[in-house]
Amino acid sequence: MRSFTDVAAIANNATAILGPARLGVRWVDIGPPVRAEIIVMPSSGEDSSHDVTLGGTFPVGEETWRFADLVMPSLDEWEVTVRRVDHGEVPEPPTGRPWERARLSPYGQLDEAQLQAVEAALGQPLPPDYRDWLRRNNGAQPEVDHHVPGVTFTLMPERPLFGVHPQHPPTDLVAAQRVHRDPWLSPDWLVIARPSGGLLLVSTAQPQDSRVYFLPEQDMVGPASVNRASKLRPVAGSMPELVGRLTPLDHV
């Protein structure tokens, strides 16, 4: 049975209908080489999975299809393009760009005593998800400028993710609260970075909330009594997701 279409785009968490089958993508690995696991779900018969390199082919019933292209703006977002292969076809080169891993240099690790000392200095416990990330990384310095596509901030080498550096206040988490949080927000929030364009924060009032929030610079004006918490917008569901969404600006 011939497909209804000769080309299809498959987004993450979605499927594409070709006619004789539905296709899904379980994962994408940027490699090198770029690979994806493509799931073929026929209208009758058993599902099959295929580990396919970009440019490689896989069967869909009696047809042959190619993993033709990939657009991947972040670690958890992608759109895989597949194309039916005709006899004697010369494949076109891919034009999309895979996501490039964030180029961050962690400052090291923290032990439990250091974490407890930070919490004592802050006068409040660290949010559990952020605490674990801080324990494993102690902040991180970007090697080049990074951003999250669609969000108006730039994380730079001179404006890193804060860690425990009391000897260097510009990158120290505790010092950052006095300088960057207290003039604008209550202790219900913890500033974790001061990128160009605003603030990155996590919630201390709701420990179950692992999201990372952004406060744009244009909202950092006026008296301290202004309800700035209403201006915060989530940019990632957790610290690992934030790192997964950070994209080097020299890659775009």
At 7-27, the pLDDT tens digits run 999 998 899 988 779 999 999
Structure confidence at residue 77 (pLDDT):
81
Q: Is the pLDDT of residue 70 over 70?
A: yes
pLDDT at 63 over 80: yes
pLDDT of residue 98: 66
Distance, in Å, from the CA atom of 239 to the CA atom of 126, rounded to the nearest integer, reads 13
Average pLDDT over residues 165-175: 95
Mean pLDDT on 30-56: 90
Picking from 225, 214, 152, 213, the residue whose alpha carbon sits closest to that of residue 184 is 225
Give the residue, 73 or 218, on which the prediction is more confident: 218
**Assigned fold of 104-251:** SMI1/KNR4-like (3.40.1580)
**If you average pLDDT over residues 1-10, what whole number do you get?**
75
pLDDT surpasses 90 at 67: yes
Instruction: Give percent above pLDDT 90 in the chain.
Output: 64
Any residues with CB less than 8 A from the CB of 194 and at least 6 apart, and which? Answer: 159, 176, 180, 200
Cβ pair 96, 81 in contact under 8 A: yes
Mean pLDDT of the chain: 89
Whether 118 and 76 have beta carbons less than 8 Å apart is answered as: no
Confidence of residue 74 (pLDDT cuts 50, 70, 90): confident
Q: How high is the pLDDT of residue 96?
A: 63
